[in-house]
Structure 1
Amino acid sequence: MPQPKNDFAFLRKWEKERKENKLRFAIRIGLLQYAIPIVLIVIGIDFLRGIEDMDQYLLIRIYWGLPVCVFCGLFAGWWMYRNNEKRYKSLKGLDEKKGH
């Protein structure tokens, strides 16, 4: 989710989005917009190339790879929420460093 470079546009957009809780944001952005599409693309490419050993494929890609992608997607969504919130507070003058 690219953020607007214009501070005013960012503030308007983030004020709407920050009403979501962090987990819901992480699921929507990290999982649905990043991790799941990447997993589907990788699996699609694998099937186009052909899979020789289905048992090994399931073990590596699905049983190990899918949970790692889910974790990374949630972490990335949380990280984006954190960075957006930090930028929002900085632009609004609510920075903790200023003592507010």
Structure 2
Amino acid sequence: MKIRHKPPQGDVSEKLTFPLVNESEPFEKADADFQFAAAVAGFGMQLRNSSHAGTWTMDDVIATATDAKGDDEHGLRAEFLELARTAKRLIVND
């Protein structure tokens, strides 16, 4: 993976390169933060009717986010879940 970023005080962007290794681990073995991030990405794909969503549905987004909610110290993950549930109701009633 290659990303570019510009330090806050800099004028020139820097390129960082990270090798990605597919260890063929099932999604269920990924840590909770990764799973929650996948649910957020899936939510965006559902809203856009993206072909990249694969077989995921809004129910999958909600179930994955619920399972990966974790400690949620500031309540932001719970807020996302409420947003996803509301979107699901609006989409079904559309």
User: What TM-score results when the alignment is normalised by the length of structure 1?
Assistant: 0.28
TM-score with structure 2 setting the length: 0.29
Structure having the larger proportion of residues in helix: 1
Report which structure shows greater RCO (CA 8 Å, sep ≥6). Answer: 1
Q: Which has the larger radius of gyration?
A: 1
